[in-house]
């Protein structure tokens, strides 16, 4: 979407970029003075992923969750992915009954079944939806006691 592209363009450090919607399914990006066009294309073409997770339970071990900052707060997100964006069939922004913005997410049949099971089994737990631009994992060796 346009916001994702704007974030990627900002990371390129271009002085006066242009990102404009053109029609229903096209976005035009102009990067005057970019030094490495091939790198810019690679950055703009990266695929972002959407992941659904439960928040980590209180007392969870630090190996079972990853901390994320959200609106100035630290949120511990369980490492287990409940659902990925490939199960999303439609997304639209609307206003709720109080006139506040909300996002409606429709899932395919398999995604609906999966989210139904997880929410039924985890009543009262918060769910997090992450848009991940880049995801890197490091391999860590642990000793017998589970320490690095």
Whether residue 148 is predicted with pLDDT greater than 90 in this model: the reply is: no
CATH number at 50-132: 3.30.1360.200
Helix (H, G, I), strand (E, B) or coil at 75: strand
Domain 2-45: state its class.
alpha beta
CATH 3.30.1360.200-classified regions of the chain? 50-132
**Do the strands 127-132 and 73-78 form a parallel or antiparallel pair, or are they unpaired?**
unpaired
Whether residue 147 is predicted with pLDDT greater than 70 in this model: the reply is: no
Q: What is the dihedral of CA 123, 55, 57, 112, to 10 degrees?
A: 40
CATH 3.30.70.3400-classified regions of the chain? 2-45
More confident residue, 134 or 98: 98
Cα 135 from Cα 126, distance rounded (Å): 22
For the segment 86-120, what is each residue's pLDDT rounded down to a tens digit? 999 988 888 999 999 999 999 999 999 999 999 99
């Amino acid at each position: 979407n346009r916001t994702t592209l704007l974030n990627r363009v900002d990371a390129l450090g271009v002085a006066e970029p242009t990102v404009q919607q053109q029609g229903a399914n096209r976005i035009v990006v102009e990067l005057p003075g970019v030094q490495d066009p091939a790198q810019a294309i690679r950055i703009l073409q990266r695929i972002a992923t959407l992941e659904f997770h439960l928040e980590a339970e209180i007392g969870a071990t630090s190996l079972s969750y990853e901390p994320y900052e959200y609106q100035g707060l630290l949120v511990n997100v369980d490492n287990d992915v409940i659902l990925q964006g490939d199960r999303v069939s439609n997304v639209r922004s609307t206003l709720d009954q109080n006139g506040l913005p909300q996002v409606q997410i429709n899932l395919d049949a398999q995604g609906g079944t999966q989210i139904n099971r997880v929410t039924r089994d985890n009543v009262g737990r918060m769910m997090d939806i992450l848009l991940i631009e880049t995801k890197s994992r490091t391999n860590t060796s642990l000793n017998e006691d589970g320490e690095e």
